[in-house]
Every structure is written in structure tokens, then in C-alpha cells.
A and B are shown apart, each in its own frame.
Chain A
Amino acid sequence: MSIEQDTIVRVLVRDRAVLLAYIWAIVRDNHLAEDILQDVSVLAVNKRDEITDEEHLHGWLRQTARYKSLTALDKRESSPMRLDDRVLEALEAGWRSESADGGTADLVDALQHCLGKLSGYAKHLVELRYAEGLSGQKLADAVDRNLNTVYVALTRIHRSLGDCVRQQVNEQQA
């Protein structure tokens, strides 16, 4: 028995952020990640006769996305820096559990709360990095700091957000 199309659509839409993060972690280019996910989505519908159920679909999506991501990376970059194959394999099981958590709605709520607690400079940096899309030297130039200083600041921000989000999500689920 093959999977129904509405199940494919629901999984794709609900897990969009996790799937995009999975692909982005390999290719590190938003546009390319979106293109790959779009291709994988269409392929999943066309190949639905070969996909038995939702559990099979999750694995199929990641396997296909991983293959397409690595192929795209090879095509676009002569000597890409990439995660080792065994690292990608080791990360795999955890990605499934991230999808199984039922989407990112809790994370969105928690992040909204936690972003509000950041200091002014940290908020500014987050805005430049994730709303404006600046990264690397451009980000450093925008705040007139050197690159290492900026990445130390981003590190602190992410550590702080990580702690805050985990606490928030735990409270929401309690």
C-alpha cells in the first residue's frame, strides 16, 4: 500500500523548517536549500507509489535530500568543505526525532519570548544576521568590529537563546 498525497503534503509543510535546516546544514545556501526541497517535494509526490507510509516518507525525504544536496555541492564548488559522511550518518537518527516532535510551533513561540530578552547590541546583531542576511565579513563591517569578535558575540547569543528556548519549551510542555 502506498502513501496518500495529503499525508505527503502535511509532512512537507509541517516539517518544512526542519527539512530546510537539514538541507541547509549541508549546502549552507538558503536558495539552494529551497530549490532542493522543492525538487524533493515534487519527487515525493511522483514516487508516492514507492513510499509505503509516513515513517518511510521521513527517511525517504532525508535520504533524497541528502543525495541531492551533496550532488549540488559537488557541482557548484570545486573543493567544498563539508561534513564527513560518517558525521552526516551519525546526525541522521536525531533529525528523525526532530521531525517527530511535531513541527516548530513551540520553538517559534519560545524564540519570540527569548529574542525579546536579548540586550540591544545582541538584538541588533541578530537582526543583521537573520533578518538582513549579513554574515561573515559583511556582518563584521556592519557593526564595525572584527570578524572574530562578532562570532564570539553570536556564539554567546546562541548559547543564551538555546538555554532560554529549552527552558521555555519545557515550561510550555509542563
Chain B
Amino acid sequence: MRDDDFINLTLRYLDRVITREEMDMLNAALADDAERQRQFRELCIRSQVMRDTLGGRRAAADETAALTGAAGVAGVAGGATEPVAPGVARRLRLPVRVLAIAAAVALAATVAVTLLWPGVTHDDHGGGATTAGTGTGTGTVTGTAVATGGQASVAMVADAAGAVWGDGIAPGMMTAGGNLDAGPLRLESGVAQMMFARGAAVTLIGPTDVELTGDNRCTLRRGVLVAYVPESAHGFTVDVPGGSIVDLGTRFGVYVDDRGVAELHVLAGRVETVRPTATGPKTREITEKHAIYFGATGETIDAAFDARRWTTPKRGEPIVSGQIVMLPALPTSLAKGAFENDHHIAMFLERSGVTLRSNVKVTLTEPGAYDKYDGRGVTVPKGTKVTSYLLHYDTVGGSMQEWKFLSGAVTFDRPIVGVIAMTDQLNATDDMLGVAGVTYREGKGTARHLEDGEGDRVTISADRRTLTLYLGTSNSLDHVRVLVAADADTKAKE
């Protein structure tokens, strides 16, 4: 058998498009030939690494769909390929992306086992070990946390497939198993998971700025962090602008916005907030299924608990973070007053893979940070294939005297081709890109645009995949329609 024939058979086997006869040939080729066995292993490992490094977000979903009967027979039409059994329900997963080996191991530790990392001295008073004087979370560490071998590692990368890092960190520097020293990390987009040396498993959702300050401690300056803390890591501490969040045996999520306000949701167990005052530290205990805002000056205010905010996105769906929540279906009306919420910006998928039947005027197309929208208009040409999403923010009641601000980010797996943020442009695209039967406005005069100079800020990332929003409303509502490329070619050309 030629090498190419062997590779072809192996690929067909791995992709489940192999016939019984071909399967027999593959088994025969592998049985007693060490070189073929090496080629087989090499191809399996290379394929796995390509899935990891290229994202592969839909791979498992497709294979699962095939296995669970959606496709019936996965393979060559008319060929006697592999039969597939009817569906077996998938078990529920922890809200941890991809493979949470580290988290699974950490959570499996039912006895208080301390993970001793080489060269790290433990401090059992909550803050964990410290390195280079950064234990308070206020120290300055230059460079990044990617291990250089010059100091003790404080954490380990568990999974960073598809993550985009800032500060000159190439994806290859953040491979699973890599050590992380104390220091800052900027996750521009995507999801990354790391395990601290004491066992705390942490998921970051970009854009996020974090600084690793010890084997059981970090500082969250901006963005989203979800922590799963086993017994061995009790006391795991996240420093935020207003103070510290100390684990008392728990899972929790924290979001820090650009103003330094932290929003803390306790998913399980208990958490303590600590804020420094002139008379000593003040603490507050937050219990399961409760949430607070933790202001930049240390004040705490109750917030609405929402577990949906901290689940990891499903494969193939946009990665939302911060105060944006992706909801499964649109309500019948998104007109002013019909779908109000003070705690999150609702995001909806409107239309998938729609081909624009005419030129469409949008507000923004280019990467950059924006706070003025009036007068902007760029045309997305007829024939462009897009998927449209709508972001909706309408505060409860609403008065000119009371402005409320929410923020967050969403990362798509394809580039953004246009952002519509002006009322006339929104109105003009409701029919083509909106969902039939949904009321988007009560009349043409209803304002639903982002306003110049009123605090509404939009950022499109350099790779056009991440949209960051900071929205303020009083007595009007904000709508942002996002057009994302839906053509496979568009992604391939990136």
C-alpha cells in the first residue's frame, strides 16, 4: 500500500467515512508494520493539535450531531459506511470551556491536598503565596506572566485554544501545560483557562486584563473571571479596584468594567469581600445565588443574581462577556418599555446567513473606538452574506434624571462587517435583517440610537471579531445591530 493510500484510509476512518472493506484494509496495514503505526499516531496527534490551534469550535458539535442520529449515517452517500446508533443524551457539562482537566482534577480532590509548586512559599492566611512583593495585588510586575524559567511559576495554562493574547504573547506561548509566572496577562478575545498552583481553576473571557500575583491570588483589572475553587485553594483571592474578593469554598464569577466597578455573582458556596478603610478592613459575606456591585471605592450594593452570565458559550456561538447576556429567542416586542432590564444588555440572534438584497447603510465598519455616531454612514454592498444580531438595552422605567450604564463584549468567530447604531439605519434594516413578527419600534420617531457625547462607547477590535460596548440610557433605549460575515470564504480569507 502506498503512503498516500494509507493516509487516505486513516483520514476516512477518523472522519467516519470508511467502508467495512476499507476498515479491514486499514487494520491489516496497521497490524504488523511499525512505520504505519507511527504514521497513524502522528496523523492523530497532528489532527488534534490542528483542531486545538485552529479553533475547531464546530467540530465536536458536528460529530456529535452525526453520532446522535441527526445525520443518520455519516459518510459516503450510497456507500456501506458506518451505521450510527440513535442518540444518547450528552451529560451536562460544567460551565468550563472545552476540556477542564485542571478543574476536574481540582474539584475531584476531596481531601485537603495542597499543590506544592516548586519554589513557592505558602501563606495560609488567605492570600496564598507571594512572589516578588506582589502579594497585595498592588505591586508592579513588568513583562508578562508567560514563564521565563527565572522564577517560580504560580499557575499553569490548562486550555487556551482560540484565545487571542495581547502584549506580544503569541498563541504558541500559551499552550496547555505551560507555566505562568507572576505578572500581567491581557486576553484580547476568546476564552482561556488556567490553574493556580494551589488548585484554583480560573476561566477568563476576553477582553480581560489580569495580573497573577501569587499561587492563590490575582488582580482583575478589567473583564471577566470565573473561579472554581477546591478545598486545597480555599482563600483564593481576586483583587479588584475596590478591594478584595476572598473565596470561602465556592464557585464565583467577577466582571470588572472600565470604571473599576466589580460585579460579583456567587454561583456556589460563599465569598467574602474585603475593603480597606481607615479603621481597618471591612468585610461582607456573599452567599450562594447572590450578587453585588463592588464599587471602585469599596462600597457594595446588591445586584440581581444571574447564573446565565457565567456559563461558557456553546460551541459556534458568540462569546459574550460582562453584562451582555445572549438570550435564546426574541420577545414579541423590543419597543421602548416592552422588554426592560437594568442588569444586562440582551443580545439576540436575528437572521443567519442572509444575503443582502440591496446595499445597506451601517454606522461603523472599521476597527477603532467610537463615541460619536451621528452622520456616520458606510455602505455594505448588496450580495454580502451576513448573520445579524441585535443588542437591546432598555432600563426599567427610565427618567432623564437617572442614567444607567452597562457594558460588555462579544467575540464572533467571523469578522464584523458592520455595526448599525443610528435609528434611521436600524429602521431601514428591520425588515431585511430583523425577525418577522417582532415589533422593533412603536413609530418611526422612536429613538433607539446610540447618542453622541452621552457615554455610549463602541469599540471594534483590530481583528474585527470583538465588539465592546459601554452603553448608558435614561428614558430612551439603545439598539445596536451587528452584521457578521456569514460566508465561509470570508473567514478563510482572514
Contact = CB atoms under 8 A, between A and B. Distances in A.
Shortest 6 CB-CB contacts between residues of A and residues of B: A133-B59, A30-B60, A14-B177, A133-B58, A21-B48, A131-B54
Contacts of A136: 15-17, 74-76
A24 interface: yes
A154 B101 contact: no
A33 to B, nearest CB: 8
A38 B156 contact: no
A28 B13 contact: yes
A147 B17 contact: yes
Nearest to A108: B172
Interface stretch (B3-11, B221-229, B365-373): B3-11
Interface string A12-43: 11111110111011001111101101100110
B15 to A, nearest CB: 4
A95 B41 contact: yes
Interface residues of B, number: 91
Contact of B44 (A25, A86, A127): A25
B84 interface: yes
Given A31-B64, A34-B99, A147-B17, 13 more contacts: A8-B105, A9-B105, A25-B44, A30-B64, A31-B90, A41-B108, A91-B37, A94-B37, A98-B45, A108-B49, A124-B489, A135-B16, A136-B15
Contacts of A28: 13-16, 63
30 contacts: A9-B102, A9-B106, A9-B195, A13-B195, A16-B159, A17-B48, A28-B13, A28-B14, A30-B63, A32-B64, A38-B101, A41-B101, A41-B104, A46-B110, A76-B85, A77-B82, A77-B83, A87-B27, A94-B38, A103-B175, A103-B176, A104-B49, A108-B172, A130-B59, A132-B59, A135-B16, A135-B17, A135-B63, A152-B4, A162-B43
A104 B23 CA distance: 29
B100 interface: yes
A137 interface: yes
B337 interface: no
B351 to A, nearest CB: 20
Interface string B107-122: 1111001011100000
Contacts of A35: 90-91
Given A108-B172, A135-B63, A81 B49 contact: no
Contacts of A111: 46, 49-50, 53
A30 B60 CA distance: 5
A94 B492 contact: no
Given A95-B41, A162-B43, A6 B58 contact: no
Interface of A is mostly: helix
Contact of A5 (B20, B44, B105): B105
Contacts of B20: 81
Contact of A91 (B40, B62, B67): B40
A12 B115 CA distance: 15
Interface residues of A, number: 83
A29 B488 CA distance: 23
Given A17-B52, A28-B16, A45-B108, A105 B30 contact: no
A162 B101 contact: no
B176 A38 contact: no
A126 B58 CA distance: 14
B43 to A, nearest CB: 6
B99 A38 contact: yes
Nearest to A46: B108
B52 A75 contact: no
Interface of B: 3-4, 7-8, 11-18, 20, 23, 26-27, 30-32, 34, 37-64, 67, 74-77, 82-85, 88, 90-91, 98-102, 104-110, 113, 115-117, 156-159, 171-172, 175-178, 195, 488-489, 491-492
Nearest to A104: B49
Interface in A127-174: 127-128, 130-138, 142, 147, 151-152, 154-156, 158-159, 161-162, 165
Contact of B32 (A16, A90, A156, A158): A90
A94 B41 contact: yes
A91 B53 CA distance: 25
A17 B45 contact: yes
Contact of B176 (A14, A25, A158): A14
B177 A103 contact: yes
A107 B45 contact: yes
Contacts of A18: 45, 48
> Which of the listed residues B46, B64, B82, B109 has the most CB atoms from chain A within 10 Å of its own CB?
B46
Given A30-B60, A81-B23, A87 B30 contact: yes
> Which of the listed residues A14, A16, A128 has the most CB atoms from chain B within 10 Å of its own CB?
A16
B116 A6 contact: yes
B37 A16 contact: no
> Which of the listed residues B13, B18, B45, B115 has the most CB atoms from chain A within 10 Å of its own CB?
B45
B90 A84 contact: no
A6 B85 contact: no
Given A45-B105, A130-B59, A137 B76 contact: yes
Interface string A58-91: 0000000000000000011111110110110011
B85 A155 contact: no
Given A20-B99, A38-B99, A158-B7, A133 B63 contact: yes
A31 B489 CA distance: 26
A112 interface: yes
A90 B30 contact: yes
A106 to B, nearest CB: 10
A142 B64 contact: no
Contact of B51 (A10, A14, A22, A30): A30
A109 B174 CA distance: 11
B65 to A, nearest CB: 10
Nearest to B117: A6
Contacts of A161: 46
Given A45-B105, A108-B53, A135-B63, A38 B100 contact: yes
A131 B7 contact: no
